[in-house]
Amino acid sequence: MEEVRIKVRINGPYRIEGPVILEDADGNRFQLPEGRIALCRCGDSKNKPFCDGSHRELGFQAETRAE
C-alpha cells in the first residue's frame, strides 16, 4: 500500500500526498485530483475544505512543528 503523507505547511495549508478518501459529515465523497491536495487551516477559504490561498491575504500565521 502506498504511503500517505500529510505535511503541515508553515503559515499555510495541510498538504496531503497519496491515495486518500475525503468525506463530508454525511459520508459523501469529495472528488479529488490524483497526487496531492491542500486542506485549509486558516478558515478563510472560499473553497472549503480545500485551500484557495486565502491564508496569504489573511496573514495567517502558524508554525506548527513536531517535537
pTM of the model: 0.88
1-67 — its CATH code?
3.40.5.90
Q: What is the pLDDT of residue 66?
A: 92
Domain segments of the chain: what residues? 1-67
CB 41 within 8 A of CB 62: yes
Tens of pLDDT, residue by residue, the chain (67 residues): 789 999 999 999 999 999 999 999 999 999 998 889 999 999 999 999 999 999 999 999 999 999 8
CB 7 within 8 A of CB 41: no
CA dihedral 22, 25, 27, 28 (to 10 degrees): -70
